Structure 1
Amino acid sequence: MAQKSKKTSSEKSADGGKTPRRAAYVDNKRGVENWKQVGEWLRWRGIEDIECITPDLAGVPRGKMMPTSKFTSNTSLSLPSALYRQTISGEYPEETGNFRYDPQDGDLKLMPDLSTLAAVPWESDPTAQVICDIVDPGGKDVAYAPRNVLKRVLSAYEQKGWRAAVAPEIEFYLVAVNDDPDYPLQPPLGRSGRPMARGQSYSIAGVNEFDELIDDIYHFSEEQGLEIDTLIHEEGPAQLEINLRHGDPLLLADQVFMFKRTIREAALKHGIYATFMAKPMQAQAGSAMHIHQSVTDIKTGRNIFCNADGTPSMQFFSFIGGMQHFVPKALVMMAPYVNSYRRLTPQMACPVNNAWGYDNRTAAFRVPNSDPSARRVENRLPSSDANPYLALAASLACGWLGMVRGIVPDSPTKTTANEGTTVDLPRGLLEAVSLLEGEAAFAEVLGAEFVGIYGGVKRGEFETFMEVISPWEREYLLLNV
C-alpha cells in the first residue's frame, strides 16, 4: 500500500509547487460516491485486481474478477440468467409449475454498487471487491435477484411512510478440516491442544481458545469497514456468535454476506473450517441468525411500535400478528435446506412454535426488554444457513403484511413455549416450499417470479438430497427389513 502523504494543500514540494490536498474519500474503508472517486480510491491503495460479486439464491458470491484498469474503463459485466436457477449442488432442476428457464439463457448485467467498495484483506496481492446489483439488458432490476427482492420489500415500507431497521445475530461453528463428507464433523483443537466440549455459553475462556483467529476476523472486518458489535461463545463446542449494530436492512444484509466470507477466510488461514450449516453436528445446538426488527416513521423518525406515552402501539401488535400468521408460510426463505429442519426440532434451544412473548427466548418472536423508543421484535426462527437478503426480506414482509392488514396476534406467552413434542411449523423442506407457493400475498410483496423460481430450485435440491443413502438407512434397514 502506498504511504500516506502528510502534506496539506498549503505545504510546498521540493520544486516550490504546492502539493494538492488528499481527498477525504480515499481514506474510506468502505464505499465511494462516483466513478471518479473509484479511480482515485483504487490508485491510492495500489489495487491491482477487483472482484465484482453478487449473491445467488443461496447467498453464494458469484461474479467476475478483473484488472483494475478494465473495471474502470466502462466494461460491461454480465452473468447468465441460469445461475439463478441453479441448486446448491450445482444442478439445474426440470421445469415445473411456475419454475421456468429463460429460453435463450440470456445475459444479466452486473451493476456495481459503489457504496460497497472495499479491500479484500486476506489476498496476498492488493485486491478490492464490490457488491453488484443484477439488472436486465435494458437496465431494469431483475425481480428474482436476492438483493432486489429485499429492495422490493423495503420499497413497500417506504410507500407507507415507514423505514425498517434490523440487527442480525449470526451463529457459526469452527470445525476441524473434514475432507470426507461421510465422516461426522469434529470440533477443532484450540490453543490448549484439546477439542472443546459443549456448554460453553458466554465463556471467555472458550473465545480465548481461538484468540489469533478472532483477531484476524476483527482485523479483516476493520479493513473492509464492517462493524462488529459483540462476539460471544455459544452453547455448542467452538460455536461463536457475532452481533451487528442495528441499521438499514440492505446495509446489514450486505454486511452479513461479507461477514460469512470473511469468517471462512480467517478460519482457513488457521487451518480449520467455519461453517454456517444450521445443524452441523448431531446432538449439538444448531446455528441461528436471529433478526431484531423495528420500524420508524420516515418524517418524524419516531419508532412506530410506540405510542406517544411509550405504550405499545397497534402497529406493534399488528407486526407481531403478521409474523405469527405469515412466517410459517415463508419459513423456507429462513430455513432453506433439508439440514435447516434438523435444527427446528423439539427439546432443543431453538423455538419450534409461532408464539410471541416479552423477553421469552422459548418463543419464536421475542420482545426484548428495552426503552420504549427502542421497542423491537426479534425473529428467532431463521438459521445461519439462510441467504441474509432473503431471510430479511421474508421476515420484514411478514411484519409489513401484518401492519397493512391489521392482523391481531395471540396473547403473549408467559411460560415455556417449546415444551413437549409439538412443532407448530413446517416439518420439512417440501412442506415449507408448498406453503410459500400457496400464499398469494407473497406474490405481491416478494414478487411472483421470485416465488416461482425459488420454489423450483428448492424442490430440485430436495430431489438431489433424496438420491443420497444415509448412514441411518444402512444401519437400520440393511439387515432388518
Structure 2
Amino acid sequence: MAQNVTTVDLQAKAEALAKEGVVGITIAWADNNGITRSRTVPVDQLASVAERGVGVTTLFAVFDSHDGITFGHPGLATPSGDIRLIPVSDRIVQLAGQPSFAWVPGRQVAADGSAWPYDQRDALERQVARAAELGLEFRAGYEMEFHLSHTEPGPGGGTQLALPGPAYGPRVLLDVDGFAAQLLGDLRDNGVRVNQFHAEYGPAQYELSIAAADPVTAADQQLLARQTIHAAARAHGLRAGFAPLITGAGVGNGWHLHTSLSRDGVNLLSGGDGPYGLTAEGAAYLAGLLRDLPAITAVTAPSVPSLHRLRPGYFSSAYTFWGVENREAALRFVPATELLGASHANVELKPSDASANPHLALAVVIASSLAGIADGLTPPEPVQENPDTWSAERREAANIHRLPATPDEQRAALLGNDRVRDALGEELLGAFAAVRAADQAWAEGKPLEEVITAHLWRY
C-alpha cells in the first residue's frame, strides 16, 4: 500500500526527531517464527532509506527459531540474493522507553522495489484488500501474556521469577509497580492503546490487552508493544518472556487474537436473527474459522512448545469447537451485551502465541473467514463444556477433534488446506513449512524442558 509521505516530510521528521535526541531509527519486522528482526539506520538517513530501503538477505525467510538457516525450500536454497527493507514511514514512533531511538515497521520488497512473495506484511494487506472489495472491514486486537523474571538467575542457576503469586492479585503488581507504571506510560506515549493490564494465572505472569484496530495496525502494534515491554522490564532490572511455555507443567503464555467484522459500520456478530445475535454473514465467518482451525493454528501456534501448550484443561484450547464465553474453546464467542453495546461482539482465537508472525496469523484468519462467508457456512451448536471430559464417541458424534498435537500432524493440516495455502502463497508457504521442519529436526530427541528453555527469550 502506498505511503502518503513525501521526501520533504521525512526530512522534516528526521530533523524533529534529531532535536528530540533520536540518533537511530529501528526498522522492525517479524520472521516466520514470530521473532522480531530489525535494522537500525542513523536518523539523518530516514528520507533516503524510505526511498531505497536497507539491504537484507533473502534468507531471513528461512531462519528457524534458533537462528539456523534452512536451505530446505527450493526458492531460497542458496546464500545468494538480497532484498530491500522499506520503513512504513507514516508509522514512525520515538520510543518512550528508548528515547535515543525511533521505531518503525518495515516491509520487504524485491531488489527492484517490486513485491516480494515472502513478505508477511504483504500477505495480510492482500487479505484486507480482498475484504474491502467485498464491503467488509475487520478489526483485531491482541491479548498478550508474558512472564517477568529477574535478570539474575535464581538458586541453582535457573530463571528467578519476579513473584510466584497469587494469581490475578494486586500484590503481584505491587511488587513490580515501577515497571507497570512505566509500561503503561510508555505504551500511551508510543501510541498503543491499552484496554487493561493485570496479573494473570501463572506465576509472575501478566496480560496486556491492546485495543482493537484495523488488522495491519493491530499486527504492527503487537510488535511495538513487545519492544515497549522489553524496554520497560530492562529499566527495572527485569526480563520479559513471551514464550508459549515456561515450564512443561505450567500454563504458558498465549497471545489471544480477537477479531470482528462489519459491513457499512455495522458489526456482523450482533444484531442478527441468528443465535446470540449473529447475522448470517457473522455466523458464516465463525464457521469458516472453525472449518479451518487445524490449518489456522499451524500458523498461529506453530512452534514445538506451542504444540505442548495446547492441552485440555489449561484454557489454551485443544479441540476444534466454539463456545459462548467458554474459555476452553478454541473459538470463544464474546457476544454483544446491553452494557457494552453491539460493537463489542467478537471472536477470540485462543490457540495463538508469540511464535506466530502477527501479520500471517491475521492473514489466515481473514482468509478463512471470507471463505466461510463465500460458502455460506453455518456453525454447529456451541459447546459450553470441556469436551475432554466426554467420551471419544461423543466427541466424534459432535465432530470435535484434537487440534494437531505433533509437528507432522501440524504440517499435514497446513499443507492440506487450500484456503490457507492460497492466503500465504506457494513461495511463502514453502519457506514457512521449511522453517517448521527445521525446528522439528532441531527438537527431535531433546527433552521437553530443554526445548522450552531454548525458546524462553526468543520473542
The whole-number CA distance in structure 1 between the counterparts of 2:389 and 2:151 is: 36
Alignment match, 1:146: 120
Return the letter of the residue paired with 1:54.
W
1:383-402 equivalent positions in 2, closer than 5 A:
383-402=353-372
Equivalent residue of 2:302, what SS? coil
Question: What residue is the counterpart of 1:444 in the other structure?
Answer: 422
Q: 1:113 to 1:285 in 2, by over 3 A?
A: same
**Matching residue of 1:321:** 287
Of the candidates 188, 196, 213, which is equivalent to residue 164 of structure 2? 196
Structure 1 residue 103: Cα displacement: 4.8
Once superposed, what is the RMSD of the aligned Cα atoms?
2.6
Distance 1:442 1:416 in 2: 27
> 1:126-141 to 2 correspondence within 5 Å?
126-141=100-115
Rg larger in structure: 1
Contact 1:347-1:420 within 8 A present in 2 as well:
no
CA distance in 2, matches of 1:161, 1:439: 25
Match of 2:455 in 1: none
Deviation, 1:415, is 2.8
Q: CA deviation at 1:334?
A: 1.0
* Distance of 1:64 and 1:160 partners within structure 2: 37
Inter-CA distance 186–317: structure 2 relative to 1 (3 Å threshold) = same
Please tell me whether residue 284 in structure 1 is matched to residue 250 in structure 2: yes
Helix, strand or coil at the partner of 1:378: strand
1:421 & 1:42 partners in 2: Cα distance? 63
Classify 1:420/1:321 alpha carbon distance in 2 versus 1 (closer, same or farther; 3 Å): same
d(CA) in 2 for partners of 1:204, 1:179: 25
1:43 has 2:43 as partner: no
179 and 36 in structure 1: CA distance in 2 versus 1, 3 angstrom threshold: farther
Alpha-carbon distance in structure 2 between the residues aligned to 1:462 and 1:391? 20
Q: Distance in 1 between matches of 2:157 and 2:307?
A: 20
Give the conservation status (yes or no) of the 8 Å contact 2:53–2:87.
Answer: no
Q: Does the alignment pair 1:107 with 2:74?
A: no
The structure 2 residue matched to 1:369, chosen from 312, 319, 335, is 335
Q: 1:235 to 1:32 in 2, by over 3 A?
A: farther
- The separation in 1 between residues aligned to 2:271 and 2:419, in whole angstroms, is 28
Give the Å deviation of 1:84: 0.8
Question: What is the match of residue 440 of structure 2?
Answer: 462
1:75–1:357 CA distance, 2 compared to 1 (3 A): closer
SS at match of 1:169: strand
Alpha-carbon distance, 1:455 to partner:
0.5
Say whether the 8 Å CA contact 2:288–2:372 is kept in structure 1.
Answer: yes
- Cα deviation code 1:298-331 (max 9, x no counterpart): xx22223345669421112211211111011221
* Amino acid across the alignment from 2:430: G
Give the share of equivalent positions with the same residue, in percent. Answer: 22
SS for the counterpart of 1:436 is helix
> How big is the shift at 1:131?
1.4
> Higher mean Cα deviation, 355-364 or 171-180?
171-180
Closer/same/farther in 2, CA of residues 339 and 262 from structure 1, 3 Å limit: same
Kept in 2: contact 1:397–1:446 (CA 8 A): no
| CA distance 1:36–1:175, change in 2 (3 Å) | same
**Residue 397 of structure 2: aligned partner:** none
Q: What is residue 91 of structure 2 aligned with on the other side?
A: 116
Unaligned 5+ residue runs, structure 1? 1-30, 189-194, 474-481
Where do 1:14-25 residues align within 5 Å? none
Structure 1 residues 53-452: aligned runs within 5 Å: 53-73=28-48, 74=51, 76-95=53-72, 99-101=74-76, 103=78, 105-123=80-98, 126-177=100-151, 184-188=158-162, 195-197=163-165, 199-201=166-168, 203-297=169-263, 300-306=264-270, 311-370=277-336, 371-419=341-389, 424-452=402-430
Deviation track 1:90-148 (CA, whole Å, cap 9, x = no partner) reads 1122425xx53165732111122112101133336x32222111111232222222211
Q: Deviations over 1:361-384 (max 9, x none)?
A: 221111113244433211112123
2:267 is paired with a residue of what secondary structure?
A: coil
CA distance in 2 between counterparts of 1:348 and 1:374 reads 25
**Number of the residue aligned with 1:192:** none
Structure 1 residues 316 and 183: alpha-carbon distance in aligned structure 2, compared to 1, 3 A threshold: farther
Matched position secondary structure for 2:304: coil
Q: Which amino acid aligns with 2:66?
A: S
- 2:108–2:119 Cα contact (<8 Å) kept: yes
Contact persistence 2:25–2:42 (CA under 8 A):
yes
Bigger proportion of residues as helix: 2
Gaps of 5+ in 2: 393-400, 452-459
| Cα distance, 1:238 vs structure 2 | 1.1
In structure 1, distance between residues paired with 2:428 and 2:249: 35
TM-score, normalised via structure 2 length: 0.86
